[in-house]
Chains A and B, each alone.
Chain A
Amino acid sequence: MTDTHAPAPAPAEEKPSGLKMPSAAALKRAAGRRKKAPTNAHKPGRVAGLNYDKYAAAIIDLSMLDPDRPKTVQRVAGHRRRLEAKGYLKLEGAPIVHGFEAAEVWIKTREQWLADREERIDVIRNKIKQGTMSDTALLKQRISGPDGMHYA
């Protein structure tokens, strides 16, 4: 392993400061990382590095998890059970979620997520038929815009 704090030889004109300066190589490596910090373009709630074209993620906030407080442990366990029951798999590898100090990420394929979302329309439609949901749940509006008229 490279010692990043090996003292670099001071230039002849520079007086020894007593500071332990990083090596030129370590400075170069650090410069290589200079654009890796999250920018304003990062979206809160998104998993860093996850290919969202292929996968959908569900997030569990772990920042309030305290092993000494059973309520918080039970809450997280409840979230895990829900995600398992919704067909998600836990993503390993310490993923980072923007906006979350500590989070657990569960994923399913984007294809499955889209299918599940569409299935919700069927669920709503059935509930409307059964009379347990209002028919306004799928109410469409007439939209007029520069591209003409349609319903949404």
Chain B
Amino acid sequence: MANQANVELLVQREMASVLAENLAAFAAAGQVTTGEGGGLSISGRSVGGLAVTLAKTATTMSSTDVANFESTVSTVHKVIKHTVNKRMLATEKGYAQIGAEIANKIIVSLNKDYFDFLEGLFAAAHPRAGGGAFQVGAGKKFIDTSLAFLQGEAGAGTQDNLLTSAFSEAALDAAIQLLNKYRDDRGVPLHLGMNGGLTLVVGPKNRKLAGEVVGSDLSGADMAINTLKPQIGAVVVWNFSTDEDDWFLIDSAIAPVGMHISVAPYATMGESTDGLFVDFVAQYEAAPFKAPYEQGIIGSNVA
């Protein structure tokens, strides 16, 4: 006869699923637009310049050229699907959690669409690459050095939105300076980033240093007031896929990059037509986009 006292007591315990966090990261690091599916057109113009004085005796005035660029992106339908035997659902408690997890993972996918796109900007052709007027120079990337303004016209010059520096306090300050000095295509200084609200995007490797540089009341080197603190509205940590040294500074109010969402992520569960299986489907329709004009983003890539 079995000794009842020795019978093993089995306790069935279900571990809570480990769900991904940081789900709204993309929203802090770029613009989010919503609307109809299909596509999104983003216009940008080269307008203005410095005003000229009109003499009292003048009877004519010549006008200057303007240009409009339009960038169109098509949304992509992304889906995750699992098919599970109905008997498994009935007998194995853990399968009941699939719905919650797939909903979580589809948002991770949306995030990754955006940040993978962001990483690609160092190698992505600039929408206005070319040697003509209103363009930034032949072969230029969206984040690059020596991007032209007023190309081929009086007052022509170049500017950088690419740094090649390991993340540090001085490097972040240099990035803010680049934003402050940034000009539009007509050579007009835009003084971006003067009002704070900047988003810093770093990899996990730089998370600690970014927190120290941005969060400290005093700056590291000379223990003076930390002027970077009020400038940075958010630090977003993203697990970059190709180079953990990369980092970005984005003026989130006028970011030239973002995510267009025509169908927000959602998850459904439905029985297959033969009644044998259950389909778990999560989906969304969206696309990351870049504007024709790059003002508002600085990236650092130590290639």
Contacts and interface: CB of A to CB of B under 8 A. Distances in A.
B117 A63 contact: no
Interface string A61-99: 101100000000001000100110010000000000011
Interface in B112-161: 112-114, 116-117, 119-120, 122-130, 132-135, 141, 145-146, 157, 159-160
A63 B70 CA distance: 43
B279 interface: no
Interface string A108-142: 00000100111011011001000011111111011
Nearest to B70: A144
A59 interface: yes
Contacts of B303: 56, 86, 113, 116-117, 120
A64 B171 CA distance: 11
A137 B117 contact: yes
Interface string B206-236: 0001000000000011000000000000000
B171 A141 contact: no
A83 B166 CA distance: 9
B60 interface: no
Interface in A24-41: 40-41
B292 interface: yes
Give the interface SS of chain B, mostly helix, strand, loop or mixed: mixed
B238 to A, nearest CB: 13
Contacts of B174: 44-45, 98-100
Contact of A59 (B71, B126, B171, B290): B171
User: What range describes how many residues of A lie at the interface?
Assistant: 35 or more
B181 interface: yes
Given A43-B178, A144-B69, A101 B170 contact: yes
Given A60-B166, A136-B76, A143 B288 contact: no
B241 interface: yes
B155 to A, nearest CB: 12
Contacts of B157: 41
B54 interface: no
Nearest to A82: B245
The residue in B242, B243, B301 that gathers the most chain A C-beta atoms within 10 A of its C-beta is B242
A134 B106 CA distance: 12
A121 B209 contact: no
B287 A139 contact: yes
Given A58-B166, A86-B303, A137 B119 contact: yes
B101 interface: no
A127 B123 CA distance: 15
A144 B28 CA distance: 29
A145 B117 contact: no
Given A136-B287, A143-B69, A147-B130, A61 B120 contact: no
Contact of A120 (B129, B159, B242): B242
Q: Which of A64, A136, A147 has the most chain B CB within a 10 Å cutoff?
A: A136
B72 interface: yes
B37 to A, nearest CB: 15
Nearest to B242: A123
Interface string B286-302: 01111010000000011
Nearest to A65: B221
A2 B209 CA distance: 47
Interface in B245-303: 245, 287-290, 292, 301-303
Contacts of B134: 145-146
Closest 9 CB pairs of A and B: A61-B168, A99-B174, A44-B174, A137-B116, A59-B165, A152-B125, A44-B177, A137-B120, A61-B170
9 contacts: A61-B169, A82-B302, A101-B221, A120-B122, A137-B117, A139-B120, A143-B71, A143-B127, A145-B70
Interface of B: 67-73, 76, 109, 112-114, 116-117, 119-120, 122-130, 132-135, 141, 145-146, 157, 159-160, 163-166, 168-171, 173-175, 177-178, 181, 209, 220-221, 241-243, 245, 287-290, 292, 301-303
Given A63-B169, A117-B122, A120-B122, 17 more contacts: A45-B175, A58-B164, A59-B171, A61-B170, A98-B174, A99-B170, A99-B174, A100-B170, A134-B109, A134-B112, A136-B287, A139-B73, A139-B287, A139-B288, A145-B69, A146-B68, A152-B127
